[in-house]
């Protein structure tokens, strides 16, 4: 499940867990129509890690609880999905509808709000609706608007920053395409890459 | 419109590269066998991606065999044998080819039209055959093309709305690749996002050409100059690519995850870079 083997060290397993936790982190799927699936996946990963920890603790004769670092990570990611708003909302019904995937109804209610009541939260919820539907440009605009109207709000700020990062890096996790952890620019300078270029198609190569 | 979904080759393992080539060969052969030799012209990286995605979700693994190549008779290389996943990909290629051709016929000059004419009856036949095999996909495509025609006629300024017909087509093409309800949701989202990507990449690529011809291109409504439009388009593409990665992470594949990850997490971004380099070069 975690992609590790029995012979891996505790450190390696912790690293593997962290990588997966970053990948399926609720922040990456906040507001996404697939957030419930991400939550399921996160739960599976947590369970798997839990199992491994238990097995290893038992093997160590219970002398040492190696769960120090993992509880910190583990504890933070449960039940975070589907709306993390901790303050008082002006639109609790609409939030509930969005969280249960009833986007069309949510939008109807939201659009029915008079212009004068359209505060930062209104724009934030509208952004979520666009995001759900896949209208990412509109979502981006409205998240920005909500943040500009109320920059102190952590929820609006998180969404805004997340979208800014995605626009800049084309990635939703780790702040970069760090999969396989190879710095392409290092390779470009070496003969290995030149060798590759000769062997591969002449379709163009862009090292980023 | 095609060729924007391809791997970032320097990061492919050698065996992944060889597998990819074998799938390319396999699709070429299957296209020819089902729709005739001319259909090979539709062969592009995007349809190889589609067969690979389909195969990654299938129960049974595809089979390979060393075969000769029509275009390079001196070599015998591994080729993927005929299978239902390639059949689907070939059919989708035929459906899209037909629509693209009819589109080109409508807004091209008479010389180009004249050159396309003899191909039309062949394409119509291929279209009919593919549509009979996969009527639901054909129907969605038909509706989406109508929607595209209308929003272009109205000169819609919304990039999201302009992408939507293509997005809806790919969502409908990807959804049937699994029977599992959760997987279907992921596939639908993945297809929608890739459709956005393809439309936007094409719009970015054709920005100058469309401006000169007075053709519809939603990017032309932004900013005052090409430089700022290009920057905006790149941002929008990056956002869609990021979401594509997030959706793909939730897909449960049985094989080919390395190549698929390469394509979606590295290839798409690389392609945008290539398009931009082309522009700067003049």
pLDDT of residue A57: 81
Residue A43 in tokens: 């739960």
The pTM assigned to this predicted structure is 0.87
- Between CA A141 and CA B22 the distance in angstroms is 43
pLDDT of residue A79: 38
Angle at B199 between CA B266 and CA B20, to 5 degrees: 40
Does the beta-carbon distance from A177 to B238 stay under 8 Å? Answer: no
Q: In this predicted model, what pLDDT tens digit does every residue of A4-20 receive, in sequence order?
A: 777 778 888 888 888 88
* Average pLDDT for A145-155: 96
Q: Counting beta carbons within 10 angstroms of the beta carbon of residue B227, is it exposed (0 to 12), middle (13 to 18) or buried (19 or more)?
A: exposed
CB atoms closer than 10 angstroms to residue B260: 20
CB B97 within 8 A of CB B86: no
More confident: A78 or A149? A149
CB B246 within 8 A of CB A32: yes
Q: How many residues does chain B have?
A: 282
One pLDDT digit (tens) per residue for chain B, 282 residues: 789 999 999 999 999 999 999 999 999 999 999 998 888 888 889 999 999 999 999 999 999 988 888 777 777 888 999 999 999 999 999 999 888 888 777 766 666 677 777 778 888 999 999 999 999 999 999 999 999 999 999 999 999 999 999 999 999 999 999 999 999 999 999 999 999 999 999 999 999 999 998 999 999 999 899 999 999 999 999 999 999 999 999 999 999 999 999 999 999 999 999 999 987 654
Residue B10 in tokens: 């320097």
- Between CA A73 and CA A20 the distance in angstroms is 12
Question: Which of B239, B265, B274 minimises the CB distance to A136?
Answer: B239
Q: Does the pLDDT at position A179 exceed 90?
A: no
More confident: A57 or B281? A57
Q: What is the percent of chain A where pLDDT is above 90? A: 44
**B76 forms bridges with which residues in the sheet?**
B68
Which residues from A are below 8 Å from B when comparing CB atoms?
23-24, 28-29, 32-34, 37-38, 41, 130, 134-138, 140, 163, 166-173, 177, 179-180, 182, 184, 187, 193, 196-197, 200-201, 203-208
* CA B273, B277, B278, B282 torsion-angle sign: positive
State how far Cα A74 lies from the chain centre.
15
Q: Which residues of B106-136 are buried (b: 16+ CB within 10 A; e: fewer)?
A: eeeeeeeeeeeeeeeeebeebbeebbebbee
pLDDT of residue A174: 53
Q: Quick one: pLDDT band at residue A62, thresholds 50, 70, 90?
A: low
pLDDT of residue B143: 96
Spatial neighbors of B189 by CB under 8 A, at least 6 apart, are A33, A34, A134, B171, B247
Does the beta-carbon distance from B10 to A179 stay under 8 Å? Answer: no
Residue pairs between chains A and B whose CB atoms are closer than 8 Å: 111
Does the beta-carbon distance from B250 to A34 stay under 8 Å? Answer: yes
Q: Does the pLDDT at position A130 exceed 80?
A: yes
* Average pLDDT for A27-53: 90
- Between CA B101 and CA B226 the distance in angstroms is 28
Residue B132 in tokens: 């009979």
User: Dihedrals φ, ψ of B163, to 5°?
Assistant: -75, -25
**B65 forms bridges with which residues in the sheet?**
B79
pLDDT of residue A36: 92
pLDDT of residue B77: 86
* CA B140, B141, B144, B145 torsion-angle sign: negative
Q: Does the pLDDT at position A207 exceed 90?
A: no
Q: Counting beta carbons within 10 angstroms of the beta carbon of residue A109, is it exposed (0 to 12), middle (13 to 18) or buried (19 or more)?
A: middle
Please tell me the distance in Å from B271's CA to the nearest CA on chain A: 8
pLDDT of residue B137: 96
């Amino acid at each position: 499940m975690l992609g590790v083997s029995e012979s891996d060290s505790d450190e390696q397993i912790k690293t593997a867990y962290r990588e997966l936790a970053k990948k399926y982190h609720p922040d990456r799927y906040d507001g996404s129509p697939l957030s419930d699936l991400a939550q399921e996946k996160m739960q599976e990963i947590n369970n798997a890690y839990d199992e491994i920890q238990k097995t290893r603790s038992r093997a160590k004769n219970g002398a040492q609880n190696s769960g120090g670092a993992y509880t910190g990570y583990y504890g933070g990611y449960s039940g975070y999905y589907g709306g993390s708003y901790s303050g008082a909302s002006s639109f609790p019904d609409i939030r509930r509808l969005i969280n249960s995937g009833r986007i069309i109804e949510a939008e109807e209610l939201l659009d029915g709000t008079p212009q004068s009541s359209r505060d930062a939260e209104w724009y934030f919820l509208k952004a979520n609706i666009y995001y759900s539907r896949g209208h990412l440009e509109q979502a981006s605009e409205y998240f920005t608007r909500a943040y500009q109207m109320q920059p102190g709000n952590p929820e609006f700020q998180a969404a805004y920053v997340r979208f800014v990062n995605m626009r800049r890096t084309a990635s939703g996790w780790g702040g970069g395409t760090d999969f396989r952890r190879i710095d392409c620019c290092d390779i470009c300078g070496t003969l290995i890459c030149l060798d590759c270029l000769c062997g591969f198609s002449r379709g163009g190569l862009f090292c980023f | 419109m095609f060729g924007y979904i391809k791997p970032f080759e320097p990061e492919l393992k050698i065996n992944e590269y060889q597998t990819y080539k074998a799938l390319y060969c396999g699709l070429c052969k299957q296209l020819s066998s089902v729709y005739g030799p001319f259909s090979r012209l539709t062969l592009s990286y995007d349809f190889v991606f589609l067969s690979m995605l389909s195969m990654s979700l299938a129960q049974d693994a595809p089979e390979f065999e060393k075969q000769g190549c029509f275009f390079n008779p001196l070599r015998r290389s591994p080729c993927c044998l005929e299978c239902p996943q390639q059949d689907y990909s070939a059919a989708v290629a035929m459906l899209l080819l037909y629509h693209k051709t009819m589109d080109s016929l409508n807004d091209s000059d008479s010389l180009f039209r004249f050159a396309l004419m003899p191909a039309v009856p062949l394409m119509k036949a291929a279209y009919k055959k593919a549509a009979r095999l996969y009527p639901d996909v054909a129907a969605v495509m038909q509706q989406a093309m109508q929607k595209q025609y209308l929003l272009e006629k109205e000169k819609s300024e919304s990039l999201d709305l302009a992408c939507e017909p293509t997005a809806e087509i790919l969502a409908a093409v990807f959804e049937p690749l699994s029977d599992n309800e959760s997987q279907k949701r992921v596939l639908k989202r993945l297809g929608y996002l890739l459709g956005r990507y393809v439309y936007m990449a094409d719009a970015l690529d054709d920005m100058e050409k469309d401006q000169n011809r007075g053709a519809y291109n939603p990017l032309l409504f932004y900013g005052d100059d090409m430089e700022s439009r290009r920057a905006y388009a790149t941002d929008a593409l990056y956002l869609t690519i990021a979401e594509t990665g997030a959706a793909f992470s939730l897909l449960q594949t049985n094989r080919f995850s390395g190549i698929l990850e390469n394509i979606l997490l590295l290839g798409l971004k690389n392609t945008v870079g290539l398009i931009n380099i082309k522009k700067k070069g003049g």
